[in-house]
Amino acid sequence: MTAVPLISLFDALLADLDGVVYAGPHAIPGAVDSLQQLAGLGIGLGYVTNNASRSPAQVAAHLRELGAPAEDSQVVSSSQAAAELLASLLPPGAKVLITGSPALAEEIELVGLTAVRSQAENPVAVVQGFSPEVGWKDLAEATYVVSAGALWVATNTDMSIPQARGIAPGNGTLVAAVAAATGQNPRVAGKPEAPLFHAAAKRLAADRPLVVGDRLDTDILGGNNAGFSTVAVLTGVDTRETILAARTDERPDYLIASLSDLHRPYPDVAQIDGVYRCGDASAQVNGETVCIQGAEDDLDSWRAACAAWWAAVPETAEPRAPKLEWRTH
């Protein structure tokens, strides 16, 4: 086990929001305290979010209401990334159909483009981001414009979003509706693309950031794509089972139960003769089965299992779940 807290190995934390810091309007237990401790350790903090329904200033205000440290500049959003992408591809003043929130429209205007809301205004591009207010008419309008050959950019393609009452449809489901209707696919600006993470690290002047997220397909893949260390936290979408089965590009470097674990030493995983040990737990692979010696509710058991299975299956382009055999004695 490392003698120092996990977070002290890094100079900044790049944190996802939904499912990591909060679920719906409420903070996840322990998250705010964990974030507050970073300043005293001299560790930078940035928030990297795919949720384009609110502006960075609104997100920062919400975080401050929850007690978390947050300046507007600490929030880097997929709506900003989408606006910057469109600005690089279109002439100044070009009309962009907004399928999303007023915050998304604001980001489009800030980069010198013109936000419009209907096909009748002759947009040359569509930008699609999450908003709870998006309905069939909005998706139909986007479909008309995309079908006519317009440039189409999605802020993100998260298929789900954690809410206080559970997991709800995310922007990816709405993008999928337009894709199904048009036969087209958008360019994606936010996670899992690397620029969003690089922009956040640059703002913090961080050389060794740690990316923390609850989703393999956006947070962890994006952090890996950016070349940063990644940690999956079990307070949102992905679970111990889905993380164990992760495809190679979506495998995190670390696995924690909550943000509080950032401030604890992280247990080492040692391998001797094909047996991977973590704390009091151990795991080894036999064909398509991972045999685990340890308690099912002990995270060290899953850390050992991941190390063993990923070593046995180093390259997989699709999720691949082993059978699990638990031995407690």
- Residues labelled catalytic: 16, 18
Q: Residue 42 carries which side chain, given as an amino acid letter? A: G
Nearest to 39 by CA among 70, 79, 80, 65: 70
- Taking the C-alpha atoms of residue 170 and residue 24, their distance in angstroms, rounded to an integer, is 13
182-to-9, 82, 112, 175 alpha-carbon distances in Å: 47, 21, 28, 11
Direct distance between the N- and C-terminal alpha carbons of the chain, in angstroms, rounded to an integer: 23
- The single residue listed with the structure tokens 């030493």 is 265
- Taking the C-alpha atoms of residue 241 and residue 214, their distance in angstroms, rounded to an integer, is 13
Count of CB atoms situated within 10 Å of the CB of 219: 35
Contact 258, 233 (CB under 8 A): yes
Give bridge partners of residue 325 from the DSSP assignment: 291
Q: Which residues of 2-20 are buried (b: 16+ CB within 10 A; e: fewer)?
A: eeebbbeebbbbbbbbbbb
